[in-house]
């Protein structure tokens, strides 16, 4: 596997829920072994873009391909073997254990009523292990903390063994520690397992810390796309968010941090 392998490619994409696009002319590439983070102000179309890339919404224009194959030519079952999508929130089934939930991730490969295979068992075990959810396997989902529950859902989509993982605001409703736990898992999935990860986040400092590529969305399109050092500049942030900031680099981690400028300093 080449680290530059293109797993998902969108070209000149227009996306929206009606005939009028919320984003137009967007190019997006997700590569094996990399985390790409989408950021932008509320309502700019981040989630709509991700759902279109996942095949849950039809593009208004342009095309998405997964593994070099146009999205529209893939059946739902084949697509789910190549691409996994985790929405912002999911209904919690009453009485279902984490292990039972993760088994559902194998339906893309064997159907709902087919016999459980050794390959299924290996994939489920791997998904539980890589998300640190194995100790939770026998616990009920509705008894877990928010961070534990999110790891269980992440294990469920990973059991698909897809090469592309799309996560829509996976840290929503989590406290700070659990946010970093989930993002640590995402980072590990890319670096150690070669998965191409596309993630919607609100926190710019988390984007700077975990992303290989950042796409900043605003005003109906992509403002910039590139490494955090190029995408998260004071000029880009002020253009996209209307906020004057100072960007500094942490001397220990090397990560960027953004701080709003005091009102007096903006004059």
Of 59, 71, 61, 60, the closest CA to residue 30 belongs to 71
pLDDT level of residue 109 (50, 70, 90 thresholds) = low
What are the tokens at 112?
């709902």
CA angle at residue 189 from 258 to 127, to 5 degrees?
135
pLDDT level of residue 251 (50, 70, 90 thresholds) = confident
| CATH code for residues 6-223 | 3.40.50.300
pLDDT at 111 over 70: no
Do residues 170 and 85 lie in contact, with contact meaning Cβ atoms separated by under 8 Å?
A: no
- Secondary structure class of 40 (helix, strand, coil): coil
Beta bridge partners of 127: none
Report the C-alpha gap between 9 and 67 in whole angstroms.
8
Of 87, 121, 105, the closest CA to residue 157 belongs to 105
Report the C-alpha gap between 155 and 43 in whole angstroms.
29
Phi, psi (deg, nearest 5) at residue 58: -75, 140
Report the C-alpha gap between 227 and 81 in whole angstroms.
29
Report the C-alpha gap between 190 and 37 in whole angstroms.
13
Provide the percentage of residues in the chain whose pLDDT is more than 70: 93
Do residues 220 and 21 lie in contact, with contact meaning Cβ atoms separated by under 8 Å?
A: yes
Of 2, 28, 14, the closest CA to residue 214 belongs to 28
Quick one: which H or E segment has residue 177?
helix 176-193
- 254-266 confidence digits (pLDDT tens): 888 888 887 645 4
What average pLDDT does this structure show over 103-118? 68
Report the C-alpha gap between 145 and 140 in whole angstroms.
11
Cα–Cα distances (Å) from 150 to 12, 52, 82, 132, 172, in that order, read: 33, 22, 21, 11, 10
Q: What is the pTM of this model?
A: 0.90
Report the C-alpha gap between 217 and 234 in whole angstroms.
15
Pick the most confident of 27-36, 168-177, 240-249: 27-36
Domain positions in the chain: 6-223
Report the C-alpha gap between 196 and 188 in whole angstroms.
11
- 126-160 confidence digits (pLDDT tens): 999 999 899 999 999 989 988 888 899 999 999 99
pLDDT at 35 over 90: yes
């Amino acid at each position: 596997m080449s680290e530059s392998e293109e797993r998902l490619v969108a070209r000149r994409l227009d996306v929206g829920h009606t005939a009028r696009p919320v984003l137009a002319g967007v190019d997006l590439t997700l590569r094996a072994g990399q985390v790409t983070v989408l950021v932008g102000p509320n309502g700019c179309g981040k989630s709509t873009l991700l759902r279109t890339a996942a095949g849950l919404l039809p593009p208004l224009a342009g095309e998405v391909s997964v593994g070099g194959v146009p999205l529209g030519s893939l059946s739902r079952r084949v697509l789910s073997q190549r691409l996994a999508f985790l929405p912002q929130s999911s209904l919690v089934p009453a009485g279902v254990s984490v292990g039972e939930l993760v088994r559902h991730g194998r339906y893309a490969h064997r159907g709902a009523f087919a016999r459980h295979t050794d390959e299924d068992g290996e994939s489920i075990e791997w998904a539980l292990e890589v998300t640190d959810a194995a100790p939770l396997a026998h616990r009920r989902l509705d008894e877990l903390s928010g961070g534990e529950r999110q790891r269980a859902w992440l294990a469920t989509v990973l059991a698909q063994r897809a090469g592309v993982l799309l996560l829509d605001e996976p840290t929503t409703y989590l406290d700070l520690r659990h946010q970093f736990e989930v993002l640590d898992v995402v980072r590990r999935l890319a670096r150690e397992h070669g998965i191409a990860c596309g993630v919607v986040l609100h926190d710019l400092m988390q984007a700077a810390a975990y992303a290989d590529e950042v796409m900043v969305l605003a005003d109906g399109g992509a403002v910039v796309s590139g490494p955090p050092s190029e995408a998260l500049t004071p000029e880009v942030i002020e253009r996209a968010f209307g906020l004057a900031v100072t960007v500094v680099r942490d001397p220990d981690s090397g990560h960027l941090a953004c701080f709003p400028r005091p009102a007096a300093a903006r004059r």
